[in-house]
Amino acid sequence: MADLQTKTALLIGKSLSTVAGITRELQAAGMEIVVGHTPEDAAAAAQITSRTAPLTLNDPAVLDAEIAAVGSIDIAIIAPAWFKAVRFLDSTLDDWDAALHGNFESSVYALRAVGKHLQAQGRGGSILVLSSVAALSAHKDLSVVATSLAALHVPARLAAVELAPHGITVNVVVMGWLPDAWSADYLNADSQPLLEQATPMGRLGTFADLASVCRLLASPDARYLTGVVLSVDGGYTLHKASTPAPR
């Protein structure tokens, strides 16, 4: 595995529990981490790492300047943050607006800004967009979050095409089920055993599982791999989706 101790990664997203879990693993590999956060999450971000950067994820023009001000980066990981279990026929306009803003729009703006920044630096780099197995299978009560995440796969692949000539890779990392505040209302004492049974490897994922794949995709060893949607799920998406409804 290529040495990443001289690399700096920018992690972006309101899902700070996910960001924190990945940060711990990447720091253990010797990488320097910058956590990009919304202004209201400044205190929580400061508990994750000493280097933080306030980002305005709902304003592309402002975000471009804020990403540029972060300085030198090699890797960016974009972590969407909206999750809600709701029956499709009961979903509301507010649900769809919140999902598309929290998962799709803000992530697209971040992808765009980071791509421009890495291109301006002129030395290549790697962008990873996090998604979920909910985006790949038809899960009961997850139509809204699944749609907002699946939609992200398209601009990520388009960015991969545009940025490839600049030595910048863009890949989507699909997270399997793992204990996380992001999806806490869907993982409970009733659903977890069923999810484990539906996973060929027989267990939920860990942040170490997720971060190890992020580390690989961000390394020079994966320099010819771009535009890929990669599931890190212990084989969960190989099986028919039979996820239980949350309680």
Q: What tens digit of pLDDT does each residue of 161-196 get?
A: 999 999 999 999 999 888 776 667 777 778 888 888
Inside any domain, residue 80: yes
Task: Work out the pLDDT band at 1, boundaries 50, 70, 90.
Answer: very low
- Rounded to two decimals, the pTM is 0.91
CATH of the domain at 65: 3.40.50.720
Taking 80 as the threshold, does the pLDDT of residue 240 lie above it? no
User: pLDDT tens digits, residue range 22-62?
Assistant: 998 888 888 999 999 988 889 989 999 999 999 999 999 99
Least reliable range by pLDDT among 12-21, 67-76, 81-90? 12-21
Q: What pLDDT score does 3 carry?
A: 64
DSSP 182-244: GGTTT--TTHHHHHHHTSTTSS---HHHHHHHHHHHHSGGGTT--S-EEEESTTGGGSPP-PP
Inside any domain, residue 137: yes
Inside any domain, residue 94: yes
Q: What pLDDT score does 2 carry?
A: 55
Distance CA(138)–CA(219), nearest Å, equals: 33
Q: What pLDDT score does 223 carry?
A: 93
Q: What pLDDT score does 159 carry?
A: 98
Inside any domain, residue 1: no
Inside any domain, residue 107: yes
Query: Which single residue is written with the structure tokens 């212990």?
Result: 234
User: pLDDT tens digits, residue range 51-73?
Assistant: 999 999 999 999 999 999 999 99
Domain of residue 175: give its range: 8-238
Q: What is the distance, to the nearest Å, from the Cα of residue 182 to the centroid of all Cα atoms in its chain?
A: 11
Inside any domain, residue 139: yes
Inside any domain, residue 47: yes
Taking 60 as the threshold, does the pLDDT of residue 246 lie above it? no
Inside any domain, residue 151: yes
User: pLDDT tens digits, residue range 90-129?
Assistant: 999 999 999 999 999 999 999 999 999 999 999 999 999 9
**How many separate domains does the chain show?**
1
Q: What pLDDT score does 5 carry?
A: 78
More confident residue, 138 or 209: 209
Q: Quick one: tokens of 46?
A: 């400061």
More confident residue, 192 or 144: 144
Distance CA(213)–CA(149), nearest Å, equals: 19
Q: Which residues contact 126 (CB under 8 A, 6 or more apart)?
A: 74, 75, 76, 168, 169, 170, 171, 217, 218, 219, 222
DSSP structural state of residue 245: P
